[in-house]
Amino acid sequence: MTRNLGFTIIPPAASPEPGSASQAPLRSIVLIGLPGAGKSSIGRRLAQRLGVPFRDADAEIEAAAGQPITEIFFRYGEPHFREGERRVIARLLAGPPTVLATGGGAYADAQTREAIRASGALTVWLQVGIPVLLPRVAGRDTRPMFLNQDPAAVLQRLMAARHPLYAEADLVVNCMEEAPEATTDRVQAAITAYAAPARLPVALAGRGYDVVIGEGLLARAGGLIAPALPARRVAVISDASVAALHLPALRRGLEEAGIEVRASLTVPPGEGSKSLATYGAVMEELLAAGIDRSTAVVALGGGVVGDLAGFVAASALRGLPFVQVPTTLLAQVDSSVGGKTGINLRAGKNLAGAFHQPRIVLADTGVLATLPARELRAGYAEVAKHGLLQGPLWDWCEAAGAKAVAGEAAALRHAVLESCRLKSAVVAADEREESAEGGRALLNLGHTFGHAVEAECGYDGSLLHGEAVALGLGLAARLSARLGLCDAALPGRVEAHLAAVGLPARLADLPRRFTVEALMGRMRKDKKVRDGRLRFVLLHGPGQAVTKGDVEPAAVEALLREASCEG
């Protein structure tokens, strides 16, 4: 052992004999909380039950340094102590699974939090109120912060400073005045029941971000997004319907992590809010709220809110941090990932916009239970699109897609996870849709037709974006077959599946009619037009998509006439 702040670690004790516990964890468990929370007493019991070693970080530090922590603070100061503490914790977590009790200030250190996250350990916050803590810390003259201090005042100060940081833990267990065995029971039950959200990285050069997918994420929003923010202050943009349902839960989640909601703005629901007028009004209101360049814009809502808020974030003060919290299936599986933002013009959809990547995406699949059935079906159209692009996911769509549309939680989670897996990979390879062929442009499957039909309907709510995409998928499959690219049976297969889940599969399914001239005019204004030529994403089969820029307009016109268009 050494007596300097290198804190050489005493070798860990041997693990318990096989069979001494019913189940050992696959990763280490780190207990955090204020002094007196019971980290050591609960940790020892938990480790014994799990059949793994228990370690107390403070005890390891004192043994390694050969002196009490009060002396280390006095002689070397807190910054030096924290550096050594961080090395101790990193070394302990680098070994076999263990239960580790940390000092109250360890997790409050940003670098230590990152080291614990990087180790893959499960962090559990033992949240205890001051009435329970006070008798436990009274007379604690072995800790520097309590020397000659009023314990209640110290705890109040620590709670204000550390609770927002503790909120970044994976799991929070509210503890009370009870026997240690009872608390251990509840901590063990919480760990056993814990289902970690999925994290999919969008690996962009030097500025990647995670898409986090799971249930209950709004309640933990602050702790999840805080590590991705430059400062703990945000402005939330939502629509009136979504805000009524989900803004209170989001606010509570943000406030738990000490994140100030500097402004909370709402726009009317529907595609009409993706307009220059709404964009201007939101910009003025946001700037009037006193935001600065470290204030993150949080988009809480569907694709309309995400596109609008993202464009606001891209352009306000020449760029603000941006967080996506999508609340519709369509937004969770598609529009929230990839950084495409924008608003509509009279000439067409998304013709004013910017690429502006979020810092993180929180896809809380639990909120999908609040969606109207029509919105859920519309969002599923993008899942079907991803299935046609990926191949095996299309097989899943035909076999189990109806369960997702019916609201089955497991099916919805699978749809979101696999769609985001596909999209994150495509975006990472071609962030700004610059590939000459293929690349991110493939994600526009069905959209050239769909956007034209949607624009012709005037964005009045009579046709949802996802419904337009469904129509576009059917038309893209039919154009592929007409050009001899795919099996003649594919269009019928696509249309049959879309119809089976309740989506419009043919233009003839709509109550209104279109002209060939009008739809062709809309498509010629599409963003994907190059050198005056239409570009389509077409199919050789599921999992075999290609971009085509040499499709003759006559072929498209003939297809539209067959699809019930006039002219």
Report which of residues 546 and 347 the model is more confident about. Answer: 546
Residues 188 and 215 in one domain: no
Does residue 175 share a domain with residue 212? no
421 within some domain = no
* Residue with the two structure tokens 């598609």: 334
Q: Give the pLDDT of residue 137.
A: 83
Q: Is residue 378 part of a domain?
A: no
Annotated binding-site ranges for Mg(2+): 40
Is the pLDDT score of 201 beyond 60? yes
User: Are 34 and 119 contained in the same domain?
Assistant: yes
Q: E-assigned strands of 446-500?
A: none
- Domain end call among 193, 216, 240: 193
- HEC string of 136-193 equals HHCCCCCCHHHCCCCHHHHHHHHHHHHHHHHCCCCEEEEECCCCHHHHHHHHHHHHHH
Q: By residue range, what is the domain housing residue 135?
A: 29-193
Which residue of the set 385, 440, 478, 528 is catalytic?
Answer: 440
Is pLDDT at 172 greater than 60 in this prediction? Answer: yes
Does residue 566 have a pLDDT over 70? yes
Based on the domain organization, do 267 and 294 belong to the same domain? yes
Q: Are residues 455 and 540 in the same domain?
A: yes
> Considering Cα of 327, then 330, then 333, then 335, what sign does the dihedral take?
negative
CATH number of 226's domain = 3.40.50.1970
The answer to whether 465 is a known catalytic residue is yes
Q: Give the annotated binding-site residues.
A: 36-41, 58, 82, 104, 143, 162, 303-307, 327-328, 340, 349, 382, 447, 465
Question: How far apart are the C-alpha atoms of 28 and 407, rounded to whole Å?
Answer: 35
User: What CATH number is associated with residue 445?
Assistant: 1.20.1090.10
Average per-residue pLDDT for the chain: 92
379 lies in some domain: no
**Considering the chain, what percentage of its residues have pLDDT values greater than 70?**
94
**pLDDT tens by residue, 467-494:** 999 999 999 999 999 999 999 999 999 9
By the 8 A CB rule, do 30 and 120 touch?
Answer: no
> Residue 345 has which token pair?
């013009």
pLDDT recorded at residue 459: 85
Q: In this predicted structure, what is the pLDDT of residue 141? A: 58
Burial class (CB in 10 A: 0-12, 13-18, 19+), 495: buried
pLDDT at 24: 54
440 a catalytic residue: yes
What pLDDT was estimated at residue 19? Answer: 36
Distance between CA atoms of residues 23 and 268, nearest Å: 52
Angle (CA) 77-79-82 rounded to 5° is 110
**pLDDT of 277 above 60:** yes
The residue annotated as part of the active site, out of 62, 87, 414, 444, is: 444
User: Of 344, 371, 398, which residue is a domain's last?
Assistant: 371
- Whether residue 390 is contained in a domain is answered as no
Q: Are 215 and 182 found together in one domain?
A: no
Q: Are residues 239 and 180 in the same domain?
A: no
Is 444 known to be catalytic?
yes
Give the pLDDT mean for 484-506.
Answer: 97
Active site residue 318: yes
In a shared domain, residues 251 and 154: no
Residue 16: pLDDT above 60? no
pLDDT tens, 527-542? 777 777 889 999 999 9
Q: Is 418 contained in some domain? A: no
Whether 400 is in a domain gets the answer no
**What pTM did the predictor assign?**
0.89
Write down the pLDDT at residue 45. 97
The whole-angstrom separation of Cα 441 and Cα 271 is: 23
CB burial of 233-246 (b: ≥16 within 10 Å; e: otherwise) equals bbbbbbbebbbeeb
In a domain, 149, yes or no: yes
In a domain, 95, yes or no: yes
Question: Which residue is listed with tokens 């809502």?
Answer: 301
80 classed as catalytic: no
Lowest mean pLDDT among 41-50, 75-84, 140-149, 469-478: 140-149
The region of weakest confidence among 4-18, 73-87, 229-243 is 4-18
**Annotated catalytic residue within 17, 148, 318, 434:** 318
The residue whose two tokens read 């996506």 is 324
pLDDT of residue 143: 63
Q: How does pLDDT run across 420-444, given as a tens digit for each residue?
A: 999 999 999 999 988 877 899 999 9
What residues form the annotated binding site for ATP? 36-41, 143
Helices 373-390 and 409-429: crossing angle, nearest 10°?
A: 50
Specify whether the CB–CB gap between 64 and 1 falls below 8 A: yes
Could you give the percent of the chain with pLDDT greater than 90? 81
Tell whether 212 and 344 lie within a shared domain: yes
Q: How confident is the model at residue 25 (pLDDT cuts 50, 70, 90)?
A: low
State the pLDDT confidence band at 498, using cuts at 50, 70 and 90: very high
Domain count for the chain: 3
* Residue 385 annotated in active site: no
List, edge to edge, every strand of the sheet that includes 171-175: 54-56, 99-101, 29-32, 122-128, 171-175
Residue at which a domain ends, from 144, 171, 193: 193
Q: Which of 433, 454, 467, 495 is catalytic?
A: 433
Note the pLDDT of residue 17.
39
Residues 185 and 206 reside in one and the same domain: no
Which CATH number is 53's domain given?
3.40.50.300
pLDDT at position 526: 81
Same structural domain for residues 160 and 59?
yes
Residues comprising the binding site for Zn(2+)?
382, 447, 465
- Band (pLDDT 50/70/90 cuts) for residue 1 is very low
Would you say residue 128 has pLDDT above 90?
yes
Q: In the annotation, is 528 catalytic?
A: no
| pLDDT value at residue 139 | 65
Is residue 207 domain-shared with residue 354, that is, in the same domain?
Answer: yes
Confidence of residue 394 (pLDDT cuts 50, 70, 90): very high
Catalytic residue among 377, 447, 522, 535: 447
* pLDDT of 501 higher than 80: yes
Which of 77-81, 228-232, 561-565 comes out lowest in average pLDDT?
77-81
- In this predicted structure, what is the pLDDT of residue 400? 97
Residue 286 pLDDT greater than 60, yes or no: yes
Return the pLDDT at 140.
62
163 is catalytic: no
Looking at 87, 246, 274, 465, which residue is catalytic?
465
Residue 150's pLDDT band (cuts 50, 70, 90): confident
Q: Which residues are annotated as a binding site for substrate?
A: 58, 82, 104, 162
pLDDT-based confidence at 14, cuts 50/70/90?
very low
